[in-house]
Amino acid sequence: EAQVTQNPRYLITVTGKKLTVTCSQNMNHEYMSWYRQDPGLGLRQIYYSMNVEVTDKGDVPEGYKVSRKEKRNFPLILESPSPNQTSLYFCASSLSRQYNEQFFGPGTRLTVL
């Protein structure tokens, strides 16, 4: 089954404790991205990757890091999480930037205390 998976689905952590949210897709998609969703603000793009080893900032990159060492995986790293990063995070992938249908993962609800 074609899908995007994220782990963990739920995470409660404390300020400053480094964490990684994993994202994996099995559709051989070139383009992957991370979004955060906050009430009243909709979906905002954090980082995106056009292909392996090619990443760039989206609209709200501060406090986040990403890497794309393999085509299928695109982890999101919070080196020193803060309470304002409490949010619902979605990973998404698409065939390429020209084919923009985004396939979203199930989401990761992160709470930073």
Partner 1 sequence: GQQVMQIPQYQHVQEGEDFTTYCNSSTTLSNIQWYKQRPGGHPVFLIQLVKSGEVKKQKRLTFQFGEAKKNSSLHITATQTTDVGTYFCAGPMNSGYSTLTFGKGTMLLVSP
Closest CB 42 distance from partner 1, rounded Å: 4
Cβ proximity to partner 1, 75 vs 89, nearer residue: 89
Q: Is 90 in the site for partner 1 (CB under 8 A)?
A: yes
Residues 6+ apart with CB under 8 A from 106: 4, 5, 6, 9
16 Rama class: left (phi>0) / alpha (psi -120 to 50) / beta = left
Q: Is 50 in the site for partner 1 (CB under 8 A)?
A: yes
Task: Confirm if 55 and 65 have CB atoms less than 8 A apart.
Answer: no
Q: Is 102 in the site for partner 1 (CB under 8 A)?
A: yes
What is d(CA 88, CA 105) in angstroms, rounded to the nearest whole number?
11
Q: Is 95 in the site for partner 1 (CB under 8 A)?
A: no
Task: Confirm if 61 and 75 have CB atoms less than 8 A apart.
Answer: no
Q: Which of residues 17-36 bind partner 1 (CB under 8 A)?
A: 33, 35
Which residues make up the interface to partner 1 (CB under 8 A)?
A: 33, 35, 40-45, 48, 50, 56, 58-59, 90, 92, 97-98, 100-107
